[in-house]
Amino acid sequence: MSVSRQVLGGPRGASVILLAGGEAAADRGVVLCPEVRGVDANIEDYAARLLDEGYRVAVVDPWARHGGPPALDAPEAISAAVARLDDGLALADVGFARDCLGAVAGAAVLGFCLGGLHARLAAACVPGFHAAVEFYGRIVYPTLTPQKPVQPLDLLPGRRAALLCHFGTADPAAPAAHVDELERRLAFQPIPARVHRYPGCGHGFANPASPSGNAEAATLAWSRSLRWLDEHLPGGG
């Protein structure tokens, strides 16, 4: 399959990689939000998988305006870099990526880790999405800041998109009490939502480059994600 690839610059330093695999891909689209590693081989692989499924894909580069992702061997630097990311700008980037998809019949946002959080926030705060899929995003901020002024759970009442969430039970970034509270709040909303938990899996289980990578859980979570998109996105017929 031939694939067109464009790098599009947006407002305030936003950057989106737009991928399309021909006319068949124009009916439905997915905004793909990377984890803290940025647009790496793993994200490129997931983008290719979505293309193979017939989606147009817009990949957000969360570090474009920051000169690249932080050093992965420095946990304190990673935490500081993520803390500096502004939620409002991140959601504006997702909105720009949605616009880049064009007039598709159905649109979804899907993300991992940092991008999983952004996907869940976008389900509530960015118009134009029918579905959202989150892999192990942060549920509760340890503290509120000017860059992160609202707890993610408190934005859920604005949710417009059907939301699917994946969490490992051994993920310190998403403790069971936080996942329980997320599930409890989603249960009171009329828009479809589902939370899957993966026993013994840690943070990053869907990334083979992660120390917590788990191929079996990743395969199951991905198949569930594709089914969710098929169920909740118009088009594709």
Which structure tokens are listed for 34?
Answer: 């990377």
**Residue 199: inside a domain:** yes
Does 47 map to a domain?
Answer: yes
Please state, in angstroms and as integers, the Cα–Cα distance from residue 19 to each residue in 23, 98, 135, 213, following that order: 12, 13, 21, 26
Q: Decide if 237 is inside a domain.
A: no
DSSP 113-162: THHHHHHHHHHHHSTT-SEEEEES---S-SS--SSS-S-GGGGGGG--SE
| Residue whose structure tokens are 């992660």 | 210
Q: Tell me the C-alpha distance between 121 and 91, whole Å.
A: 8
Quick one: which of 167, 146, 174, 182 has its CA closest to 221? 167
Cβ atoms within 10 Å, residue 154? 10
Query: What pLDDT does 23 receive?
Result: 53
Q: Per-residue confidence of the chain (237 residues) as pLDDT tens digits?
A: 678 889 999 999 999 999 988 654 469 999 999 999 999 999 999 999 999 999 999 999 999 999 888 888 888 888 999 999 999 999 999 999 999 999 999 999 999 999 999 999 999 999 999 999 999 999 999 999 999 999 999 999 999 999 999 999 999 999 999 999 999 999 999 999 999 999 999 999 999 999 999 999 999 999 999 999 999 999 865
Whether residue 116 is contained in a domain is answered as: yes
Domain count, the chain: 1
| 78: DSSP letter | H
Q: What's the pLDDT score for residue 1?
A: 67
In the prediction, which pLDDT does 163 show?
98
Q: What is the CATH number of the domain that holds 86?
A: 3.40.50.1820
Q: Which residue has the tokens 């009171």?
A: 188
106 in a structural domain: yes
Q: What's the predicted TM-score (pTM) here?
A: 0.95
Is 92 a domain residue?
Answer: yes
Say if 104 falls within a structural domain: yes
Domain assignment present for residue 138? The answer is yes
Range of the domain at 211: 4-232
Q: Could you tell me if 151 and 121 are in contact, meaning their C-beta atoms sit under 8 angstroms apart?
A: no
What per-residue string of b and e applies to 66-94 under the rule 16 or more CB within 10 Å gives b?
Answer: eeebbeeeeeeebeebbeebbbebbbbbb
Residues 6+ apart with CB under 8 A from 21: 1, 2, 3, 4, 51, 52, 54, 56
